[in-house]
Each structure stands twice: as C-alpha cells, then as structure tokens.
Structure 1
Amino acid sequence: MTLWPRTLLWRSVLLIAALLVVAHLAWLQIFRASEVEPRALQAAQQVVSVVNLTRAALVTADAGRRFALLDELAQREGIQVYAGNASEKVPALPDRPFLRIMQTQLRERLGPDTRLALEREGVSGVWVSFRIDADEYWVSLPRSRIERDEPLRWIGWGALVLVLAVIGAFLVVARINRPLRELTRAAEQLGRGTMPPQVTEAGPAEIRTLAHAFNQMAADIQRQDEERALLLAGVSHDLRTPLSRIRLALEMLDDHGAADLKAGVAQDIGDIDVAISQFLDFARPVDAEQIAADADLNALASAVVERYTRNGKDVRLETATLPPLPLRRQAMQRLLANLIDNALRHGNGTVDVKTGRNGPITYIEVLDRGPGIPQTETARMLQPFTRMNSARSTSGTGLGLAIVDRIARLHGGAIRLLPRDGGGLRARVEI
C-alpha cells in the first residue's frame, strides 16, 4: 500500500501544496532574517531613550522630587528604577540574534559596562543597567516594549493564505481534470463496444486537442462499423438469394437415386446459412439495443432452452433465484444460443444450462461433456475466427465465442472457459 495518490487530480494538488509549503517556509526564514536586525535596532533605540530620560531626570531633579518622579514614571510608562550593585549577578541572555544585536547597540550608546537581562531577582522584564557617577541603577521595562506579536500575526496570515491557495489549487486542477474524467468514461464505454457521446472539447489546448482526436477516432470507428454492417448485409442478401433458389430446386427434384445428394446439399446450405447469420451477428452493433432495467435472466434462459427442446435437443435448465438485472434481452438470448450451439456441436450427450449468484455476481453457465479447452488456449479461443484443431473437421466459423465475449463485456461482465468435473467444458458468463 502506498500513500502516493493514484489520480492525477490528487497528485497535482499534493505537488502544488508541497511547493506552496516550501515557498511559505522559505519566505518565513527570509522574513525572520530580514526583520530581526531592524527590530533589534528599533528596540535598542527605545531602551536608550528611556534610560537617557530616566538618568537625566534623576540627575537634574531636586532630591525631594526624585521619588515622586520615579513613581510617575512607573505609573505612566511602566518604567521601574532600582538601585543596583556592580557585582550583582543576573541570568545570561538567551543566544538569540535579536538580543545579541540589541545588547551590542546598548553598549555602544550607553557605555561598555551596560548590562541587559530578561530577569533580575526572579522578576521578568527587560532589565538595563546604567550608571550615575559610581552608582549602578537598573531600569525595568515591560517585555512587551521590545517583543511584538507582528511576526506571529504574519505567520498566521501566511498559513491562512497557504490554506486558501491549496483550496484554490484543488478547484483549478479539478476543473482542468474534468475533461480528462469525461474522456476516461468515454474510453471505457468505447472499450466495452458502446459508442459514447462526443467528449466536450474544453479546457487547456492540450486537453482540447486530445478530446478532438478521441472524438475523431470514435467517429471513424462508428463509420467503419456502419460500413461493415452494410457490407455484410449486402453480402448476406446476395448469398441467401441463390441459396434459396438452390433449396427450392432441391425440393423440386425427385428422390430417385438422389436422396443422399439432396441431404448433403441441404446440410451444406444450412451450414452456409448459419455462417452468414454468425457473420451478421458479429458485425451487428449490439449496443444499439435498449437496456431493460428489470430483465429476468431465468425467463430469458427458459425461452432459449425451450426452442432447443422443441427441436428434440437434449438441453436441460436449472435455475436459481435471481434479482432483476439491466440486460439487453436479444443480445443475452443470442449469447446463450451461441454457447448452447457450441456445446451441442462439440459435446457428447446432454447440455446443462445453469443460473446462479455468487455474492454480487450473477452468472449463467453452459456445461457439456465434450473434449473441453486447455486453459492455455482459453484466451485465444475468444478471438474471432479461432477454432480448436479438433473442431476443424466440423462446420462453424469460429465466431461463436467471440460474439459471447463481446456481449458479456458490453454488460460489464466476462466469460470464463473452465474445465468441467468429470470431463467437458463449463462456459460461464459472469455479470
């Protein structure tokens, strides 16, 4: 099992999404790299201004006003000033480019002894030391003065844009792939022998060209089928007319010494007539017949078997309970008749016809006691004009199983040629 999607739609969406994620991450790195230094310089400038203002206020203010001034700074600006000690230890700064740049700027502007900390005596904040004469003081600012949430907002907006871009890519790719899905359905119909409606020639130029080529191909196939059917219909008419005259002439002959000859000629005429019928069946477009949504397969099989039993053929039918099926009635009767004809021609004795259901699959099978077909030959026997070597001494065209296979595929099914227990062939059509 693979996580890589099988459809072009999801592969395209996944690749576009991956490309957008990589681009978004690269943009974030570039943004952070280009944004850190300007923000650190700006924060350092703010802190320098606060420290200089505080130091100037403490130096120039009257001794009586000094504490009132400190209270006013604390209430209005959130600035706290504390007396410090040069030997006092404070936690080291985290190793972050922003803080390194800020500390460098503070020392350049306030003096090399300036210290920067994010915590002092367990109290969090932005702590900056400064000196007045020999005394050290600490000014404390809220961390919000230097830490902004704009980058987080940018990341949030970027993630939102990324999600919207992926959704938009899905819609665009789905629209581009819509003609391909239509083309796929049409190709499947054509492969089953059904002439599909014309594919819409829309979308990108490559898709339009492909759809146009497919429509042209389908039209050519339909025209060739029509020409072939017309040709065979004309040939059958031209052949059956003299055959009818020969049959009539045979009936008019007397029986003196010609009984065997008449029987042989009549048999040959019948074989030729059957061959012509099979040629026409093979050439006839079976998808022209309308589908009956609630066809009874058992009733169809019973009607076909009854025709054989009326003519004295040993054909038996065994049915199971089946649901109604969407079938082309005449095509299915032709399918079953071809299988029974093959069984009667090549089998020995009784021909059994059975219907049944195995899960979602409905099947009908014809069983005989003939020589059977080797499993290595089953695929070849479904090709037109193909016969087993043992059958070449008998009449036939080699089209019977090809017609059965064609009708089965038209119904979304398949024919399986299986060995029968005890000898013989089991021709099973699954729908």
Structure 2
Amino acid sequence: MKRVRFSPRSSFARTLLLIVTLLFVSLVTTYLVVLNFAILPSLQQFNKVLAYEVRMLMTDKLQLEDGTQLVVPPAFRREIYRELGISLYSNEAAEDAGLRWAQHYEFLSQQMAHQLGGPTEVRVEVNKSSPVVWLKTWLSPNIWVRVPLTEIHQGDFSPLFRYTLAIMLLAIGGAWLFIRIQNRPLVDLEHAALQVGRGIIPPPLREYGASEVRSVTRAFNHMAAGVKQLADDRTLLMAGVSHDLRTPLTRIRLATEMMGEQDGYLAESINKDIEECNAIIEQFIDYLRTGQEMPMELADLNAVLGEVIAAESGYEREIATALQAGEIPVRMHPLSIKRALANMVVNAARYGNGWIKVSSGSEASRAGSVEDDGPGIKPEQREHLFQPFVRGDSARSTSGTGLGLAIVQRIIDNHNGRLEIGSSERGGLLIRAAAGAPDAGADETRRGELIAPAVSCSGCCTIKAGQARLFHLAPVSAAVLPPPARRPLAYRYTSQNSQ
C-alpha cells in the first residue's frame, strides 16, 4: 500500500507552511495567555459584582460593615432596577423575552452559585445590540433576572477580528515575498542545471541571494565551465583523430585506383571497408556536434521528412508513409532533424525485415513515430537503448557503433522534445518523438517545439516523377547513409497522406 505524503515537496511550500504554523501557534498561545491572565480574572470580578447586586435585590435586608441590618425600601429597589436595566420575569414570560435563545454556561453557573451560596443557573443571550445575562437563583427559584450588559456591544469584537486577520495576512504575505526572493537564485540554478543535462552550456549565472546560495551558484558556474572545456577538448580530439585517420584512408583509396582490372573485386571490397570507416568517423563527429549551438527556424516538418524519405528510399528499400495532410510548422534546426530522421530510418532498415513506415503527427500534437517489423527490443532494454555504445541483443551481430540512436536522443533533447520506445503494429520497434514545452530558462535560439516524425519500414514507397518537385533532395550526412548513397539514383516515391 502506497503511503500518502502530507508534507510539501518544495522548500518554498515547506518554509511557508512552517511560518504559517508558527504564526498559528503564536496566536493560540497569545489567546490562552490573555484568556487565563486577563479575561478570566476580569470575568470572576464581574461575577462577584453581579452576585452582590443580585443578592441585594433579592433580599429585604442588607447587613452593613458594622453589622447593622438595613431595610431596603421597595422604591429604592425599583430605582436600582431602572438604573441598571434589570428586569424580573416569570418562567413563561422569560421564554418570550429571549430566554429561549440564551445558552447555558456551566462555568459561570458554578462561579455564581459559589458567590450566592446556593444553586444558580446562568444563561447568556447574544443579540444584535449587546449581550444579556439571565440568572435564576435559589433565593427566587421561579423568577428569572435579566441583566443587560449595555457597556459591551456586539461590534466591539469586529475591529479585533479585523486587526488579527490583517496581521496574519501581512505576516503570510511578507513570508511569501521573502521566500520568493530567497528561492529565485535556486530557480535560475535549476533551469541552468536542466540545460547542462541536455548538453547545453548556459552562460554564467549571476551570483546573488544568500551567501550559501551564492557559493552554490559559484560552484555551478565553475562546473559548467569545466564541462564546456571538457566537451571542447573532446571535440577537438575527435576532429584531430578523424583527420589523422582519413589521411591514410585516402592513400589506401588512391592505391586501390592503381590496382589492375584483375584485382577489381579486391579494390571494391577495400573501398567498401574505407566507406564504412568513414561512416564510423562521421558518426563520432555527429555525436559530438549535436551538443553545439543550433539556431532554430520555423520549418515544415512534412517537407523535411519528405527530403529524408526521398534520400533514403532507394537501394531496394521501400518506405511506407502516413504524412499528415498540409503543412506542420515547427521551430527546429532542419539539418539536425534530417540527421535524426535519417538515423531512425537507417536503424529501422538495418534491424527490420523490410517494412518501414514514416508518419508525421497533426499540427496540434506535433509528434511522430518510426516503426519496423524486426525482432523488437525487450522492455527491460528499452530504457538504455539511447545511451552511447549501447545496442540491443538483435543488433550485436551486425556492424555499427551504437551511436545512431544516441545522436537522435541528443538532437531531440536540444529541441526540448521527448523520445518514447514501444512495440510497432507488426511486433518490431516503435520510436516516437513528441514535442516538449519550451524551457523558460533556455536561450531563445535553443527553443524547440517538436522533433522527429514517425518512421516505419516497409516496401511500398516509390517517388513519382510528378511529385519529385515537392521535395528538395538535399544530401544527407554520410554518417547515416550506406555507401551506395554516394551514387546518383532515380527515386520513385508514392506518398499516402493520412486523412
């Protein structure tokens, strides 16, 4: 059974909750202190005075301090009643006068009984003007004494409530503003860390806020600079290695051109090996290049996809398509998206059994997928499929570096997209690319809305001569194309637009 979390996750919510809790505890403590040391003593004194008044009014004789018995004249008693606003009611008349709305208070009844020396019932009626105290004493059990508290008004408590509420709101608002200011550098740090995770090195963050936060920001800036330097050194190293490797490969190619016709099959085999070496070198460079600056522009996803299909649909390879009708404008780096799509198609062709399908999503979803009919990938292996040099079980018997899908992942990440892996309709591999929300902390030139569309493998794709004008048949990177792609080909392409 999953445990339910009641505590907030963010430091902002936790700090705000802590301040509100402390404020509430402070108010409750203040209330208890005022109640026990101010209100209750005053209430006891009030009960004592009220008991003296009732005793005087309910008896005919009063005992003075010197022990003398004083007879209270009825006229004097009536005058006191009038001045104090005290009224006497029978049980039936008291109900009609407001006793039915009065609430019994055991605490006041006990105190009044102690003062009067016998059982006493006290009820309090709260009306619009002022509270009223109703008393029934043992001195006159059939009479209710109505004592209005004219000096206490119902509206006297409204300012106290308003002031207390205003203090609470000011305290909570001030705490909220303070925490927001304190957490602002942490939010900037979070956005920058997400960029570094996608392979994008942000500019140095401004160091501000608390001293501890400034120290963390300073350490992050040093780390980002180190990561950038490491990436630059790696790129420079790979560029140097590729240059040094291509020099002997070029000499070997020239040597094969000088071989006799009787060694033509051997020269062709050597040239194929040279092309494969060049493709591997290009893949390494492409993998390093995907993390660099990529200026974005608004382009039609279907048009970019059509160029890739046109370039990849030769050499006995047929590609079924399900392109969304009309244009799908997406903010992207077209060359990088072409490279990613080409890698996805080549991956489907290499490990599938001949069926490839390329489809694009609607303008609203801006998503796509690539399917094949190969053996597929086990669910437990899919999580690691986009890591560099990681290959599925079905791919270990074929040539390759294991960088094709890693390049796709880096390109999609740089466009703020998301890659998903599943099973295709024919049991093979399905790779789906969905658009991601632009990162508020990222630079405007790095924002992307979608990446690749769907690709599947099948042999039903040809290019009609009349449709060739719809696509610009731009060359595709040699890192993702087999050797025959370097020779001119006549393409035939049939597009099946989805309705």
TM over 0.5: yes
- Distance, in Å, in 1 between the alignment partners of 2:152 and 2:135 is 11
**What is residue 463 of structure 2 aligned with on the other side?**
none
**What is residue 386 of structure 1 aligned with on the other side?**
390
- Distance, in Å, in 1 between the alignment partners of 2:229 and 2:108 is 77
**What is residue 191 of structure 2 aligned with on the other side?**
185
Identity %: 32
SS at match of 2:201: coil
- Conserved 8 A contact 2:299-2:332: yes
- Please state if 1:413 is matched with 2:417: yes
**What is residue 218 of structure 1 aligned with on the other side?**
224
- Conserved 8 A contact 2:375-2:427: yes
Offset of residue 385 of structure 1? 1.4
Offset of residue 275 of structure 1? 0.6
Residue 330 of structure 2 aligns with an amino acid whose one-letter code is L
- Distance, in Å, in 1 between the alignment partners of 2:20 and 2:418 is 42
**What is residue 171 of structure 1 aligned with on the other side?**
177
SS at match of 1:380: coil
- Distance, in Å, in 1 between the alignment partners of 2:106 and 2:166 is 28
- Conserved 8 A contact 2:87-2:147: no
Residue 414 of structure 1 aligns with an amino acid whose one-letter code is R
Offset of residue 164 of structure 1? 2.3
**What is residue 208 of structure 2 aligned with on the other side?**
202
Change in 2 beyond 3 A, CA 1:418/1:166: closer
Normalized per residue, the structure richer in helix is 1
**What is residue 377 of structure 1 aligned with on the other side?**
381
- Please state if 1:34 is matched with 2:42: no
Offset of residue 337 of structure 1? 1.4
- Distance, in Å, in 2 between the alignment partners of 1:370 and 1:141 is 95
Change in 2 beyond 3 A, CA 1:145/1:45: farther
What's the C-alpha RMSD, in Å, of the aligned pairs? 4.3
- Conserved 8 A contact 2:290-2:407: no
Residue 297 of structure 1 aligns with an amino acid whose one-letter code is L
| 1:137-185: CA deviation from partner (whole Å, max 9, x where unpaired) | x998642347897677545533332232222222222222222222222
- Please state if 1:298 is matched with 2:302: yes
**What is residue 284 of structure 2 aligned with on the other side?**
279
| 1:56-115: CA deviation from partner (whole Å, max 9, x where unpaired) | 9xx899x9xx96x8888777x546699xxxxxxxx99955656766776x76xxxx79x9
Change in 2 beyond 3 A, CA 1:422/1:124: closer
Offset of residue 350 of structure 1? 5.6
- Conserved 8 A contact 2:312-2:342: no
SS at match of 1:387: coil
Offset of residue 423 of structure 1? 5.4
Structure 2 runs not aligned, ≥5 long: 65-69, 89-98, 125-130, 436-499
- Please state if 1:308 is matched with 2:312: yes
Offset of residue 235 of structure 1? 1.2
Q: Higher mean Cα deviation, 416-425 or 166-175? A: 416-425
- Conserved 8 A contact 2:309-2:319: yes
SS at match of 2:383: helix
Offset of residue 419 of structure 1? 3.9
| 1:267-302: CA deviation from partner (whole Å, max 9, x where unpaired) | 11111110110000111143511122x321111111
- Conserved 8 A contact 2:367-2:432: no
- Please state if 1:401 is matched with 2:405: yes
Structure 1 runs not aligned, ≥5 long: 83-90, 132-137
- Distance, in Å, in 1 between the alignment partners of 2:106 and 2:353 is 94
**What is residue 430 of structure 1 aligned with on the other side?**
434
- Conserved 8 A contact 1:70-1:81: no
Which of 321, 332, 337 is the matching residue for 2:337? 332
Alignment of 1:228-239 (within 5 A): 228-239=234-245
- Distance, in Å, in 2 between the alignment partners of 1:417 and 1:146 is 74
- Conserved 8 A contact 1:295-1:324: yes
Residue 39 of structure 2 aligns with an amino acid whose one-letter code is V
**What is residue 323 of structure 1 aligned with on the other side?**
328
Residue 196 of structure 1 aligns with an amino acid whose one-letter code is P
- Conserved 8 A contact 2:109-2:122: no
- Please state if 1:13 is matched with 2:4: no
- Distance, in Å, in 1 between the alignment partners of 2:317 and 2:122 is 105
SS at match of 2:207: coil
SS at match of 1:257: helix
- Distance, in Å, in 1 between the alignment partners of 2:153 and 2:427 is 89
- Conserved 8 A contact 1:37-1:98: no
- Conserved 8 A contact 1:179-1:203: yes
Change in 2 beyond 3 A, CA 1:31/1:236: same
Which of 225, 246, 251 is the matching residue for 1:245? 251
Offset of residue 386 of structure 1? 2.4
Alignment of 1:99-110 (within 5 A): none
Alignment of 1:257-276 (within 5 A): 257-276=262-281
Change in 2 beyond 3 A, CA 1:349/1:255: farther
Change in 2 beyond 3 A, CA 1:423/1:96: closer
| 1:355-405: CA deviation from partner (whole Å, max 9, x where unpaired) | 2349735114253x4444333333333221123455445432111111112
Which of 354, 363, 367 is the matching residue for 1:362? 367
Greater relative CO (CA pairs within 8 A, separation 6+): 2
Residue 342 of structure 1 aligns with an amino acid whose one-letter code is N
**What is residue 88 of structure 1 aligned with on the other side?**
none
- Conserved 8 A contact 2:422-2:429: yes
- Distance, in Å, in 1 between the alignment partners of 2:312 and 2:272 is 18
- TM-score, normalised to structure 1, is 0.75
SS at match of 2:303: helix
